Amino acid sequence: KVLLGRLTGLGLSEMQIHMALREVPLDPKMARWSREDLLRLAHALRRRGKPMILAANKADLASPDALDGLSHIEGYRTIPTSAEYELALRRAATASLISYEPGASSFQVIEPTKLTPNQSKALDTIASFLQKHGSTGVQPCLEEAVFKLLNLIVVFPVEDEHHWTDKNGNVLPDAFLVPRGSTAVDVAFKVHTDLGNHFIRAINARTKMVVGRDHPVEDGDVIKIVAKA
């Protein structure tokens, strides 16, 4: 309880504190904790409450030995990335010079004749990097952080459960990231407080099933929230 009172300002929950205390064997009396004990507990709390993944950027400039060394940093998942290459590919795709899906291991040049010699050379360099590393690393890093490290799922709230649209006819207009295990009413609160407070039921647009407030949502669910006016 003492730790909870001091650490809630850091966004740590009681469960995270309990898990960290079980992970680090400490004397039952806090007054006997040494500086080393406090450091070990702090590391455990950080791992539980503030998980991190390392994006080793500028991997296109690093030597193989340097990248190998980064991959062995204890306690961290490290992913080599090249944000510069990712940005170049997305800009080229926006300009309709290439066809590229973020996170892909390759891209296709749409109009080779439109490329300048410098652009063609740069794309060849990036293609070699992708062939070696499998991607620029940016998208995989983001996806691993969100879906594995933070254990979030994607839910799509809609107003029309038949056409999966909002009131303006936009298909799947919003995507919300929610913790795995969230319920239908949790999604309602995520969309708007009034929807959560006046929640009646939800409709799974994929299965057409009517579900209650405590029904757990799954990754990729398309949900219609029904609430009192």
The per-residue DSSP string of the chain comes to: -HHHHHHGGGT--HHHHHHHHHHS---SSGGG--HHHHHHHHHHHHHHHS--EEEE--TTTS-HHHHHHHTT-TT-EEEE--HHHHHHHHHHHHTTSEE--TT-S--EES-GGGS-HHHHHHHHHHHHHHHHHSS-SHHHHHHIIIIIIS-EEEEEEESBTTTTB-TT--BS---EEEETT-BHHHHHHHH-HHHHHTEEEEEETTTTEEE-TTPBP-TT-EEEEEE--
Mean pLDDT of the chain: 92
pLDDT bin (cut points 50, 70, 90) of residue 1 is low
For the cut 80, the answer to whether the pLDDT of residue 196 exceeds it is: yes
For the cut 90, the answer to whether the pLDDT of residue 79 exceeds it is: yes
Predicted pLDDT of residue 6: 73
Query: What average pLDDT does range 81-85 have in this prediction?
Result: 98
Predicted pLDDT of residue 190: 96
Q: Is the pTM of this model over 0.75?
A: yes
Predicted pLDDT of residue 188: 97
Say how far apart CA 19 and CA 181 lie, in whole Å: 19
Predicted pLDDT of residue 117: 96
pLDDT over 90 for what percent of the chain? Answer: 72
Identify which has the larger pLDDT, 46 or 106: 106
For the cut 70, the answer to whether the pLDDT of residue 141 exceeds it is: yes
Query: What average pLDDT does range 103-111 have in this prediction?
Result: 96
